[in-house]
Each structure stands twice: as structure tokens, then as C-alpha cells.
Structure 1
Amino acid sequence: MHALNPVFLPGPTNLPESLRRACDIPTMDHRSAAFGPILASAMAGVKQVLHLSEGEVAIFPATGTGGWEAAITNTLRPGDKVLAARHGMFSRKWIDLCQRHGLDVEIVERPWGEGVPVEAFAAALAADKSHEIRAVLVTHNETATGVTSDVAAVRAVMTAARHPALLMVDGVSSIGSIDFRMDAWGVDLAVTGSQKGFMLPAGLAIVGIGPKALAAMETAGLPRCFFDIRDMLGGNYPYTPPVGLINGLAVSTGLLLEEGMESVRARHHRIAEGVRRAVAAWGLTTCAARPELCSDTVTAIVTPDGVDAGRIVRHAAEAYGVAFGGGLGEVAGKVFRIGHLGLMSDVMALSGIATAEMAMTDLGLPVRLGSGVAAAQEHYRNSKTAPVRAAA
């Protein structure tokens, strides 16, 4: 029975049947003429999803962490300074990766539940008169806390300071689901993965590279081999590619673009708002410190003092065969997460809300059965809906 239920994880996400079939293809000679069009289609589709007109795309057999590593090793030199905020599990992990590569990370600490501190970044960039900061790192959507940060605002303060640093963005749980505009926001490097908005199995690290980042690769000095973007340029693949996943990516981007990226964004916002209204009806709060920070791909729900949120996740899995996300790092045991990205509809979201209600009620939390479902239903009934064509 478990396999019949959707997952409500912030990744890996539910797999549309058409994408499962697209990944399930016979063995192919990846050096033959047949593979080239598959790779070209996937790369062209990714560029459109990223809103990247000038630049390149590299697709590595890895996950988002590999994309982080590719971003820094291809553009920076040993000892370079980077500016980053630590405000959640994944911003923390990217900082750790930079430090392990010998980079000098200027860290702005923020509570978990807050977004990227734009004003603190503005002050740091303005104070950096000698332009020692070579890159600014932004976690667009902090998956651990359900917080989305304003990438465009970070670029605006970089421009105001006339600072030449590269803008690198972790868009692992945002790209392909919520608004992301690489050109318009001046993003130099964008990192994502196959297992979230692209609705595929884990296994691809996808990196968008703007012109400024391409130029920086000429002077980069950090060691790289497997993640050398230069080897990926020109439509080549330097080693054995995951042909099935890349074929799936070509089909996935086609589905997203057929739905229309504005429609994808609107669908995710509508579904997320229904989940947030359910949380309010339960008398609970989100981990996001303010409403404007709430993510449209994952909601982290704070449980009352003394309630181990992990018990809700475990009980939902054991009693109802439904997977929710647990708390990570500083919010472990304090929040549980409902992922609502990728293949997701109003009706699917309602099943997750209902399951969360049952699990919490079973464990004695003061949640009235049907309260969250009713709040979400009211929102979904009164907001514009359309069939989810990307779920075919």
C-alpha cells in the first residue's frame, strides 16, 4: 500500500509516470549520434527553465552538493574570500564545503527561520573597498526551514556597491517550482538537482553558468576534474553519462515549459497557501519568521513545546504509509515538513493535510480533525485552478 501514496517530501518528489518511462530506456551507446540530441534537448530545456539566454548549462551525474562543488571549484582560487549567510541546514552545508576547499568564508549568522540578510550583505560589500570578496553565496530556498530569500535584492545591493563579485545561488528546491530568473536577477552561477522541481530520481547536478562565471573559469585555481565544467562545454560528455536520467530531464523540461513557467509558479503558490492556511487552522505556526519568507515548495511546521516533531513523521509513515520531512540540524525534533513541489495538485495536497491531521490527533495534539482540510479546501475552491498537465 505504501507505494500507492504520494510522498510529501521536499525532495525527492513524486515521479510522474511519463518521466518514469522516459528514464526507463534501453542501453544506448552514449558515443553514438543518438545521444547528442537527447543531451542538447535537456540542456536547451534547462536554459529556458532558468531564464538563461546567454551562458551554458552543465549536467553532472551527482546531486546538488556536487553542483555546489562545481560552482566554486570552476570559478575561485585557493584562499579566495566568499560572503555567505548561515541560516539553515543547507546554507550551513555549502559554507562547510567552501571551508573544506580552503576558501575564506565571511559568515553572517542569522536565526534559522530568517532569510538571507540583504542589509548585512550590503554593508559587507560596501566595506570591501579592495574587492577581496570574490563570490556571494545565496541559498534561494532553505529547505530545512521553509524559507525563500530575495535573490534579486542581493543583486541590487551588489550593483549599488559596484561590487564585481560573482553571485552564486543554490536553487535546488526552488528552480523548476517557484520564480527563478537567472538573467533578470544577474545570477552568475545557479545550482539545482533533478530530484525536486524537475520531478526525476536523484542523480543529476544541474548548473547554469552565466557569461561572467564562464570568464572566471579561465583564472580559477581550485582543483577539479570530475566537476570541470570546461570538459562539459560544446555539447560533449567527458565520461559515461546517465543516459536515462538525461532523457528524463529532456522530457521533464518539456512538460514544465508546456505548462508554462508562470503557471508552474502560480500552481505552487496556490498549493502552498492552502497548506499554510491548514497550519493556521491547526493553531500552529511555520518556521519561517515572517509570512513573506514562507516557501512555496516546503512548509516547516513548528510543533508545541515538549512535542517531538519526529514522532509525527514516524507515525505518519508507520500508520498511514505517508512520508513527511523531518526536522534537520537546529530544528530537529522541533518541526516537521510538508513538501508541496514538483508533481503536486490541490487534491494531492489535501491528502497530505488530512494525513498530518490524523497523525497529530493520534498522538494527542489538540488538532481538530478536518480543520486544516476545510481551511485548505476553502482556499482551493476559491482560487483559480487548472489541470496539472505536467503530471501526465
Structure 2
Amino acid sequence: MSSQNPVFIPGPTNIPESIRRACDIPTMDHRSAAFPPLFERAKTGVRKVLKMDEGEVILFPASGTGGWEAAITNTLSPGGKVLAAQHGMFSLKWIDLCQRHGLDVEVVKCPWGEGAPVDRFAEILAADTGHEIKAVLVTHNETATGVVSDVAAVRAALDAVNHPALLMVDGVSSIASMDFRMTEWGVDLAVTGSQKGFMLPVGLAVVGVSPKALAAMEGAKLSRCFFDFRDMLKLGTPYTPAVGLINGLGASCDMLLAEGLDNVFARHRRIAEGVRAAVAAWGLRPCAVSPALYSDTVTAIVLPEGVDGNALVRHAADAYHVAYGAGLGEVAGKVFRIGHLGMLTDVMALLGIATAEMAMADMGVPVTLGSGVAAAQDYYRTNKAAPVQAAA
């Protein structure tokens, strides 16, 4: 029998049955009159999830990485200067993508476990009186380390010196699970993917584009073809779209909005706090260096010296058929990650905590079986969930 255990990786996430069914539709002629209502439903839902008052939502058949590439190629030119921080694997990958496109990236290196360095960004932006910096990149939620960055503070740093640079945000593992306010925070390009908070299979890059970014598109000189916003805005779908996923995205947005975005964010916060209570009970700590940086979608847990986190993840998969996230880059082997986003409940989280305890005990980590479960149970019992519409 195939495993029916939920996954505890930070994406792809568990898929609600109703969304799975929404993706499973008969072949449709995407040039027929039947497709536009389905397409508009998905884009309208995304606008609400992004809290986006103006601009455009563009959907590409790609992953979040495709969204990164679309963001830069549609708004920047060869040799353009970009400001970014390197503080985890995914912030590093976005920097690498920019460099491969011939952009001049000013990289602020930070310890893995810290967030975007707002104060350092502010200094650099203030010193850039010639406005050579054309874009500032922020990884809202660094999936490798379980760290959230303050996007609003970066916007405030830009505004304080009237800097015209575009604010580009990687929200791949935050959007639809953690509060994201595109218009209020002055985000010009917001990137996410279908396989995280939207609880879909991988295959859609979702990009929110502000009016300012749309204006920048006209003068951008980086090469683009497949990811050209102009074609998408003119034709809607200049090539064959992922029709099933787009229908599923509409269903996902309906589900999130029916639960209520505030309830969605509160659920993720509550589940994350239970996981963090378990981590403390085990005598371990998150990779994030302070509680203000704790992510509500993934916790990277630092293991004792001599315990290989990636071996622990393999053992959990082999012995208990449960998937956790391995450590990446500078924290490879030093941490393992519990993803707690998407279709997840307190009860499902307890399963993940209990299995992690067994796997750690097997690997020689000095944890008391039941300690983390009890700590999470205590938290969940005293911080009960608001009634929500059950996922079908």
C-alpha cells in the first residue's frame, strides 16, 4: 500500500482533495469562450490574497524560479545594479540568477539565520544618490533557515531617501500562508508558486506586478521571450496554459478566502508556535537567531554536534515514511526542517512532531519521547483554532 502520511516539507505541500479534483478536469480548448472566466477567477483570487489594489497578476507555466526570472528580465537591463542580501539558499539562488543575466549585484552577506539587513540596506540606499541601484531584492521567507524578513521596513528605507528602485519580493514560501500586503508595503514585483501556500502541484509561477513595474517593463533591455510580460498582457496566454492548475488556483483562492485570510495566517502562526514549543522541549533551537525572525511556514531545527540532519531526514523517510526538509547550503547536515504550511492542522502537526521525535531518538539525539508532543499539545489545547470550513 502506498504511504498516506502527510508531508512535512516546506513545499510542495499537502493538497486538499477538493483542489486535487479541481485540477483534474477534461481537456479544454484554451482559445474557447470557456477558458477566460476560469482564468479571470484565478487572477482575481490571487489579487485578493496578495492584497493588491492595482497592477496585474501574471501566471506562467513554471515554478517560482521562473517567476524570479520573469521579474528581473521584464524590468531591468544588462549591467543594471541590484541590491540583495545573501542569508540562505534561496536568497543565494536569486542572486545567482541575476548574475547569470549580467546584472551587477551588490550582495550584503549575512549569517544564515538572520533576515534581510534593513539597516545596511538603508545605508547603501542613502549613499546611492545617483540612483544606480535599479532594484532591491528581498526574500520574504527564507525557506532554508526558517527566517522571515521585514518587507515593509525595506520599503520604508527606500521611501526615506526617495529612492526609485523597484522592490522585488520572493514570497514563494510565505504568500497565502503568511500576511502579505503588496500595495500597503509598496511591493513592485511579488513572486510565488502554486505548490506552497496555494496547496497545488508545482507548475504555476504567480507574479504580482505593480503599475511602477509595468512602466519599467517598457524600457527594460534584458532578453526575454517565454517570460515576456508584454505577450502575457496582450494575449493572456500566448502559449498553452496549465489549464488544470489554473482551475485549481481559482479553487484554492476560494478556499483561502472562505476560511478568511486572517484565519489562515492565525492557523499557520498557531501551528508554528506548537512546533516551536516542541523544539524547546527537545532542548534544541531554531536556526533563526531571534523570535522576531521565526517563520510561520517552516522551522529549521539545529541538531547537536555530530548528528547529521540529512541522514536523519533519510532515516525518517525510510523507517516511518514521513518526509521532512533536509538542510541546504551552509546549514546542510546541521539542521532538519519541519514544514508547517498549506493544508495542515494541529492534529497533523502532532503527527509530524511525534515522528520527528522517533527519528531523532533512533539517531542518538537525546530527546525524551513524548516531550515535544506534550509541549505542542499543551499549546494547541490552550490556543484553540477558530472554526473554519473543512477542506474536502
Is the pair's TM-score, using the shorter chain for normalization, greater than 0.5? yes
Residue aligned with 1:258, SS: helix
For 2:170, give the aligned amino acid.
D
- Give the drift of 1:388: 4.7
- Give the drift of 1:376: 0.3
Q: Any residues of structure 2 matched to 1:48-63 within 5 Å, and which?
A: 48-63=48-63
Task: Give the aligned partner of residue 346 of structure 1.
Answer: 346
Task: Give the aligned partner of residue 78 of structure 2.
Answer: 78
Task: Give the aligned partner of residue 364 of structure 1.
Answer: 364
Task: Give the aligned partner of residue 206 of structure 2.
Answer: 206
- Give the drift of 1:391: 2.6
Offset from partner CA, 1:191-211 (integer Å, 9 cap, x none): 000000000000000000011
- Give the drift of 1:230: 1.2
- Give the drift of 1:35: 0.6
Task: Give the aligned partner of residue 145 of structure 2.
Answer: 145
- Does the Cα contact within 8 Å between 1:61 and 1:241 map onto a contact in 2? yes
Offset from partner CA, 1:7-34 (integer Å, 9 cap, x none): 0010000010001100011111111000
Structure 2: which 5+ residue stretches go unaligned?
none
Taking structure 1 as the reference length, the TM-score comes to: 0.99
Structure 2: how far apart are the matches of 1:177 and 1:3?
Answer: 26
- Give the drift of 1:234: 5.3
Structure 2: how far apart are the matches of 1:346 and 1:84?
Answer: 36
Taking structure 2 as the reference length, the TM-score comes to: 0.99
- Give the drift of 1:361: 1.0
- Give the drift of 1:235: 6.5
- Does the Cα contact within 8 Å between 1:58 and 1:229 map onto a contact in 2? yes
For 2:30, give the aligned amino acid.
H
Structure 2: how far apart are the matches of 1:388 and 1:67?
Answer: 31
Structure 2: how far apart are the matches of 1:228 and 1:380?
Answer: 46
Task: Give the aligned partner of residue 171 of structure 2.
Answer: 171
Task: Give the aligned partner of residue 190 of structure 1.
Answer: 190
Residue aligned with 2:3, SS: helix
Structure 1: how far apart are the matches of 2:124 and 2:83?
Answer: 8
Q: Any residues of structure 2 matched to 1:314-353 within 5 Å, and which?
A: 314-353=314-353
- Does the Cα contact within 8 Å between 1:176 and 1:197 map onto a contact in 2? yes
- Give the drift of 1:364: 1.8
Q: Any residues of structure 2 matched to 1:257-336 within 5 Å, and which?
A: 257-336=257-336
Residue aligned with 2:57, SS: strand
For 2:185, give the aligned amino acid.
W
Residue aligned with 1:222, SS: coil
Structure 2: how far apart are the matches of 1:14 and 1:210?
Answer: 31
Offset from partner CA, 1:51-100 (integer Å, 9 cap, x none): 00100000000001000000000000111000000000000000000000
Structure 1: which 5+ residue stretches go unaligned?
none
- Does the Cα contact within 8 Å between 2:263 and 2:386 map onto a contact in 1? no
- Does the Cα contact within 8 Å between 1:2 and 1:322 map onto a contact in 2? no
Task: Give the aligned partner of residue 19 of structure 1.
Answer: 19
- Over the matched positions of the two proteins, sequence identity in percent amounts to 74
- Does the Cα contact within 8 Å between 1:274 and 1:379 map onto a contact in 2? yes
Structure 2: how far apart are the matches of 1:323 and 1:91?
Answer: 24
Q: Displaced runs of 4+ in structure 1, greater than 3 A?
A: none
Q: Any residues of structure 2 matched to 1:32-47 within 5 Å, and which?
A: 32-47=32-47
For 2:123, give the aligned amino acid.
A
CA RMSD of aligned residues (A): 0.9
Task: Give the aligned partner of residue 107 of structure 1.
Answer: 107
Residue aligned with 1:59, SS: strand
- Does the Cα contact within 8 Å between 1:39 and 1:235 map onto a contact in 2? no
- Give the drift of 1:231: 1.2
